[in-house]
Each structure stands twice: as C-alpha cells, then as structure tokens.
A and B are shown apart, each in its own frame.
Chain A
Amino acid sequence: MKHPARIAALAVALVVIVFGVVLALNVGSDPQEDAKQSNLVGKAAPSFDLPNLAGGRVTLADIAGKSAIVNFWNHWCIPCQQEAPALESFYAEHKDDPDFAMIGIVRDDTTGDVKAYVKKRGVGWTIALDPSSVAALDFGTRGQPETYAISPSGVVAAAKYGPMSTTELERFLAAARANA
C-alpha cells in the first residue's frame, strides 16, 4: 500500500458515486409520488361493514358482482360540496344500470348533520357511516373527498384524492367494468 490515503479517498469517491447512481435509478422524479396516488389500485378492495342511514348495514359483499363507485365525504367539507352536483348527475345517469352500485362513506361527521344534508340535497345512493374512520384508514384515505372504483370481482380499479367531475366518474366506472 504505497498511497493509503489516496486509496481511501478513491474508495469514498467510489461509494459516493455508487450511492448517487443507485438513488438516480431507484428514486423517481418525485419522491412523494406515492403520496399522491392510492396504493390500493390493482389490489382487492378492503372489506367494510358499516351502519347505513336507514339503520341497516352496508358491506363490501353488497357490491360484489357490480361495478361500484365508493366516495368518501362529509357534509362540512367544501370540496365535497363542490363535487356533489357531479355525483348527483352521474348517479341519475346510472342508477338503473343493473351492474352499477354507488356508496357514499361518511367520515368525521355526525349522523344528524349527514341526515339533514342528504335530505336537503335528495341524495339517492347508499350512505354509510364510518364514525371511527376504520374504513377510511383501510382504504388509505388522506382526507375527503376521495373516490374509488371497484370492479365486480372486488378489485380497486381506480382512485382519486380530491373532487371528481362527471367525466372522471364515467372514466372510473369504465375502469371498474373493464376489470370485470
């Protein structure tokens, strides 16, 4: 070892270069990318068993064999109120489709407020209550509104954080049907 310091410096440089190459190859352009998209797409939808507004229960089994839209929301969230017209017109368009189901899961809200809101807006689809946010966490929600498309075989076909337009809802329904 004639120049030990030089060899050590070369070794450090080599390690740093390898580190840089590995990072460049493994880290995408945005290290927070997975914070913007659901990890559940392509996987089985989480099971849920929640009370509905009518006093009954709503479960994942209820939508088995159907192309379903599951929307997390609550009455006080402004973006939820902004997407409400799109949900309403989308539901009116598809409510009679035999293979279609739509569930609104309410998180972080009171039953009384939800009942009043549903009555006022004439919401026709099934509303489930998730007071402990158990279903919300199982779906990996980051707030509300959030929408998931579930295929007839129970696979999450698409997901979005934030308010939906009717075009996006149609795209989600098509994705769920394509995953049949």
Chain B
Amino acid sequence: MIKRWGAWIALALVVVVALTVVLWPNGSQSAAARAHDLETQFKCPECEGLSVADSQAPTSRAIRADIKRRIKAGQSDGQIRQAYVDTYGESILLTPQDSGVSLLVWILPIVVLALGATGIVLVLRRNRDEPHLHATEADERLVEREHRDG
C-alpha cells in the first residue's frame, strides 16, 4: 500500500514545497524592489498595453513617485493597490484581482486541469485493471494444443 502511494505522496510534497517557495510573501524585500513590483502591476493610464514601470508618460512618472511616497509612508502593497483601484477602477491593474468574480480567472483553470488529470488517471487505471481481450474457447483450445504438442 505504502509502495503504491509513496510516489504520489512524494509528488504532492514537491508541489506543496514549490508552491510555498513561489507564493510565500517575501518580507525582506527592499523598498525599491517593492516599488518596482508594484509599478509592474499597474497599467499606464494614458498608454496602450504598457505597465507604469515601462512607460515614460507623465502620469506613469507621477505614479512611480507616488508609489515610493506611499511605501515611505508605511502603506502595505495591498493598501497601495486598493488606493489605485478605488481611484482608477480595476482597469488600472495588469492582472486580475484575486478576489470576487476575478478569483474565478485564477481558480477555474486549476479546477479544469485537476478534473482533466483525474479523468486521465481514471482512464489509465481502468485500461490497466481491465484487460480488453478475453480468450475464447477456440483460443484456449489452441493454447492447450500448443502445450501438448510441445
């Protein structure tokens, strides 16, 4: 039993550790790194498809300075994001929020992948457990004859 599930448990452990490392908030990030992270999350309000970090438009320059001011004032990344969403709406974000209806955008692909993977595993298991070919009486007679004839 342990042998059967060992590989799956090991795989699950690897996935959990990898996700933890990737998603765990980095508390030791410098103010400059935090500012740059936030700048890459906001869309330049007066350009097409550019982040605030990549744009040289006056509004983007002002937002970069404002983010630094807010970080210096002790605001968290979440507070800064929310302040901009309150003023500009969700269109200011380059990636969807992880709350409300926007959460579906993150969750549903995982659900679909999980269901798909489950389906594949079940099909493979059924194919392994249930042999498709059944020997007919004629087959068995043939095998018996071969054994007899040596």
A contacts, CB < 8 Å to B: 1, 4-5, 7-9, 11-12, 15-16, 19, 22-23, 26, 32, 34-35, 39-40, 46, 107-108, 132-134, 136-143
Contacts and interface: CB of A to CB of B under 8 A. Distances in A.
Contact of A39 (B65, B66, B89, B108): B89
Interface of B: 45-46, 57-59, 61-63, 65-66, 86-91, 101, 104, 108, 111-112, 115-116, 118-119, 122-123, 126
B112 A137 contact: no
Contact of A35 (B58, B91, B108, B115): B91
Contacts of A1: 122
B122 A108 contact: no
Given A26-B101, A107-B58, A136-B59, A143 B46 contact: yes
11 contacts: A4-B123, A8-B118, A11-B119, A15-B108, A19-B108, A34-B88, A133-B59, A133-B62, A138-B87, A142-B88, A143-B57
Nearest to A43: B86
Task: Say whether chain A's binding surface is mostly helix, strand, loop, or mixed.
Answer: helix
Contacts, number: 85
A4 B88 CA distance: 47
